[in-house]
Structure 1
């Protein structure tokens, strides 16, 4: 990630602001696409310190990476291109994951959120991972980068009716409540 920024912005500029560079890398989740768009934003302004670019990205989030003049340099546009290659079901799951509670999900929680059978939820998560929209983590958990998650949430609010979103959130809340209750019964069976 640091090498990508150094190649685009110059090694001296990157070396001069290590804390700002670390923040940019963190805000972009180390994702090459987000880092490339961020570098493209900062590149024509060598007099602007990278800390300002990081502050803008921190404050504006996805909007800071939306460049109307060049669709290829716009993270929302590139993400929308990725969605075009998904099935309707994958797009719906992607959107619902954007509004789901918590930093990550599991296949059973995704099945509850979406109302899909477990096997189909697993296959859909795998498809989203293959499309680089999700990252698989240890323990069979899946997570979205914050910027991708924000885009997914925006997609949910613009493409899914409110009753669909509310039903999904109710199902996943019930799932988590049931899971917590079952865990409590295992830990204290005589309670």
Structure 2
């Protein structure tokens, strides 16, 4: 439940922040907005610095720079559950990079829509992710997390393949199909990443 709420907060922040910034820019200049952002970052830094981390006992490990560098990677790659998680994270990274990198290009160049439609496309992805973050705790009460994460990864792959086919076909329904594709990728993204933390 905490991971779902964390995912929901992350997605809400990415949706609300641009809207809040746009609303503030109607009343104040961007210089004041950036000044407020600086103050916010400084306050956040002060909060982080004020937290006291408990001391832990140092553990002696191999001392060479290469040994230290590759120790964590080798542990990660030798642990079967973590290796599977790496694959799931790679699938989520591939799908989300399509959304992050290609949304503007696709909406403006392929679909010929105005740049004001880009936020709607990104919001479709965000709403899919938030909806799944809300539904996931109940789903994981009934099913184990591993099949849900695998299904989420598969859902992203199917959505990307279907989106490619719909893009090749084109037509007047391409914009709504694009929004649905981004929404479904958001569902799969949240389903894949939220249970893993």
TM-score by length of 1: 0.24
Structure with larger Rg? 2
TM-score (norm 2): 0.23
Using CA pairs below 8 Å that are at least 6 residues apart, which structure has the higher relative contact order?
Answer: 2
